[in-house]
Amino acid sequence: MSVRMEKVGDTGPLLPLVNMTPGALLARLALLLIVVLWTLPTFGLFISSFRDKDLLSFSGWWTALSVTERGEAARTGTDEDQVEENGAWFIRGEVFQPGEKEILAFGIRSTEPEVYAPGESADLGDGVTLTVQADGRYELRSPVEFDMSRGRRIYFRAAVPPKFTLANYGEIVASEGVDQAFINTFTVTIPSTIIPIAIAAFAAYAFSWTEFPGRQLLFAVVVGLLVVPLQMSLIPLLRMYNQVSHILPFFEAKSYPGIWLAHTGFGLPLAIFLLRNYIAGLPKEIIESAHIDGASHFQTFTRLILPLSMPALASFAIFQFLWVWNDLLVALVFLSKDLDQIVMTSQLRELLGSRGDNWEILTSSAFVSIVVPLIVFFALQRYFVRGLLAGSVKGG
Amino acid sequence: MERLINAIVAIVFGVGLMLLYFYGSNWLLDRLLPDRGIVDGVFQSREKQRERIRPWLFVAPALVILGIYLVYPALQTLYLSFFDSDGEAFVGLANYGRAIGDSRFLESIRNNILWLIVVPSFSVIFGLLIAVLADRVSWGNIAKSLIFMPMAISFVGASVIWKFVYAINPDIGFLNAIYTSGGNQAVDVLQIPFWNSFFLMVILVWIQTGFAMVLLSAALRGVPEETLEAARIDGANEVQTFFRIMVPQIMGTIFVVWTTIVITVLKVFDIVLAMTNGNWNTQVMANLMFDQMFRAFDTGYASFLALVIMVAVVPIMVVNIRRMNREEAMR
């Protein structure tokens, strides 16, 4: 596997393929295989979310582009639809929308669903015949007037061409409240990102560039809190929220401000730790000259430190945004599952329980919930990596 | 539309209130302690006093929130672990004793240990393999992007994706489609005793490999070319160079990746909740704790379980924070 040296001569993807060593070729194939394996599950979900609901449970997403064959049944019109032409009675219609499918064979009994070719006439007895065309048009012909309040059954095998639709998305918005959950998630995520950053930035500045008694000790305590896992906080906080809501009538145990503050609390140690490291590293001269010019700490912070700290703020913001967006545990504890509070992750888990077999709903809902992080990921990949690396030790 | 407006109002309200505090309190400070102006021909400034108080205005919200949301609850959880299910009666070490005889608890410990062995190992091995391979091909960056992508997806989202892969119906589940094409009966992999946990671990490996890859790839780039050159001159082949020269030099990063994934594993909850909810012997600590808290409403026992997670996490976190501090100091 003399690939490392080959890096120098690696000019293009295809050209060196011929004179590549077996080892290098193997390495490429291995990588390709891993990438395909890693991408396939998400890709399958994505494709499936756009497939027709009926096809979805009938054939795998990997066949999405090929024609599917399957047996179906339909009913003709009733005697109300009949017309008289040249002394015979006809009922005409279509078993599906024209162009939607193609009939390969049909039948009039469920035991023999595929005995006639399209265009042939099936004899129903008493001179009544049924003809079904490949495009789905049918014609019932009778020498006497029809007297039937229910249509006749037609069984057929149809070739269904690939069909992609946005109907699944329409359905989850219309009946599953996914659009509301989407808005709710934003309502949780935006303040839960901005509030801890602002509070942490002020604190980080105070810990770096001001003097007050106990400064070092307090900072050490904040860093120490990094080790406290989220799970340690939940039970007492839940009890506290319930108690407070009994005492104060306007305070609800499950509310947006409640979860904002919770996310703020859980995000603060890391935010303060990271931002302090950054802000303390800013050049001393800048801050001193601001003070000589008579700026207060507040002015120094808002006009000087904040703009200079933008890179650190941005990477923490991305981390916190994704963390809150993807969180399930905190949302389950601090928000109700009612329509006006449920977030995407919680909704998705509910759907997994109640609609476990309705894959058209699950795939499209899942895609709606992951599309925002994916956009952030592809648009801001470099900052995303930085934020993630910085945040990966989060105690939550 | 109305919902959207409600949401925007709520967001503006929440963020506005916080900004109002910072601007308001600082404005108030300037008003309450203004400069005295010229007294006896000397300009008397009270800037010193103001700047002595101002740091407290800056740190106060952080300290108050940390106190309420982390310090107090952590101590309270410790306290509650000695109490009964309502948190009313003191029961001493009963919750601790109960755990020893609790088959669900032992099952969780066993599964957590399995997770701790499998997930970090495979994530690091795959991450390292991909990092090495991707550095040698022109489309390496695209490959890395695609493998890193699951990192952006929530655990619940990932669970739906994999439940789809694992679905029993071979016309839906990709895995069963392959399995049944060999003439086998379709199986529900989430119900296979013992091995079902591994099918859950696959999900976390799928997510964490990208993380391992990014860090290890950066570390591999930092390995000095001369050391590799020297090894080759001495007649080492690629595999030997990799294991004897490269891996030892990135041991530090491997450790970081390993411990970070260990912490993630110790707190894994969403995947188990969404996939099996701990049924069929797949229970893990974090989900058991959630279960005790929200379904059994057993405050004391749930608190004890939270404490177990904390005890497992703390030593690893301490090591990691120490290391981060050292790195910051070196910068």
β-bridge mates for residue A89, sequence order: A84, A142
Instruction: Tell me, yes or no, whether B76 and B155 share the same domain.
Output: no
Question: Strand A128-132 vs strand A83-85: parallel, antiparallel, or unpaired?
Answer: unpaired
CATH number for the domain including B170?
A: 1.10.3720.10
ipTM confidence score: 0.90
- The C-alpha angle with vertex A114 and arms to A112 and A119, in degrees rounded to 5, equals 130
What pLDDT is stored for residue A261 in this prediction? 95
Instruction: Tell me, yes or no, whether B148 and B38 share the same domain.
Output: no
Q: What is the spatial distance between Cα A73 and Cα A67, in angstroms, rounded to a whole number?
A: 19
Instruction: Tell me, yes or no, whether B115 and B48 share the same domain.
Output: no
Residue B86 lies in a domain: no
DSSP per-residue codes, A299-323:
HHIIIIIHHHTHHHHHHHHHHHHHH
**Interface contact flag, B3 A38, Cβ < 8 Å:** no
Exposure letters B108-127 (e unless 16+ CB within 10 A, then b): bbebbebbeebbbebbbebb
CB A362 within 8 A of CB A178: no
Question: Distance of alpha carbon B117 from its chain centroid, rounded?
Answer: 17
**Interface contact flag, A374 B152, Cβ < 8 Å:** yes
CB A135 within 8 A of CB A99: yes
Residue B94 lies in a domain: no
DSSP class of B212: H
- pLDDT tens-digit map of B98-133: 999 999 999 999 999 999 999 999 999 999 999 999
Instruction: Tell me, yes or no, whether B188 and B44 share the same domain.
Output: no
Nearest to A366 among B151, B160, B325 (CB): B160
Smallest Cα distance from A14 to chain B, Å: 10
Residue of A157, A102, A72, A91 whose CA lies nearest to A129: A91
CB B287 within 8 A of CB B305: no
3-class state of residue A157 by DSSP: strand
Instruction: Tell me, yes or no, whether B41 and B149 share the same domain.
Output: no
> What total number of domains does chain B contain?
2
β-bridge mates for residue A154, sequence order: A74
- pLDDT tens-digit map of A78-128: 888 888 888 888 998 888 887 778 888 888 888 888 888 888 888 888 888
Instruction: Tell me, yes or no, whether B297 and B184 share the same domain.
Output: yes
- pLDDT tens-digit map of A301-349: 999 999 999 988 988 898 899 999 999 999 999 999 999 999 999 999 9
Per-residue pLDDT of chain A (396 residues; tens, 9 = 90+): 333 444 444 444 555 556 677 878 888 999 999 999 999 999 999 999 999 888 887 788 888 787 878 788 888 888 888 888 888 889 988 888 877 788 888 888 888 888 888 888 888 888 888 898 888 888 888 888 888 888 888 888 888 888 888 989 998 888 888 999 999 999 999 999 999 999 999 999 999 999 899 999 999 999 889 888 888 899 999 999 999 999 988 888 899 999 999 999 999 999 999 899 889 888 999 888 998 888 889 999 999 999 999 988 988 898 899 999 999 999 999 999 999 999 999 999 999 988 888 889 999 999 999 999 999 888 888 777 776 666 665 644
Instruction: Tell me, yes or no, whether B316 and B193 share the same domain.
Output: yes
* Domain's final residue, options B80, B115, B133: B80
Tell me which amino acid residue A295 is.
Answer: A
- pLDDT tens-digit map of B254-278: 988 998 899 899 988 999 999 999 9
What pLDDT is stored for residue A269 in this prediction? 93
Name the residue in chain A with its Cα closest to that of B8: A187
By CB neighbour count within 10 A (0-12 exposed, 13-18 middle, 19+ buried), where does A125 fall? Answer: exposed
Residues 260-299 of B with CB under 8 A from A: 260, 263, 266-267, 269-270, 273-274, 286, 289-290, 293-294, 299
Instruction: Tell me, yes or no, whether B287 and B317 share the same domain.
Output: yes
Question: Strand A137-142 vs strand A128-132: parallel, antiparallel, or unpaired?
Answer: antiparallel
Q: What is the spatial distance between Cα A297 and Cα A209, in angstroms, rounded to a whole number?
A: 9
Sign of the CA dihedral A282, A284, A286, A290?
positive
Q: What is the location of CATH 1.10.3720.10 in chain A?
A: 169-391
Give the domain extent around B74.
2-80
Residue of B232, B59, B20 whose CA lies nearest to A218: B59
**Chain B residues near residue A385 by CB distance under 8 angstroms:** 148, 214
pTM of the model: 0.87
**Interface contact flag, A366 B206, Cβ < 8 Å:** no
**Domain covering A169-391 assigned CATH 1.10.3720.10 in the classification:** yes
What pLDDT is stored for residue A5 in this prediction? 40
Select from A4, A59, A68 the residue whose CB has the most chain B CBs within 10 Å, as the one to mutate to test that interface: A4
Instruction: Tell me, yes or no, whether B263 and B130 share the same domain.
Output: yes
Instruction: Tell me, yes or no, whether B184 and B304 share the same domain.
Output: yes
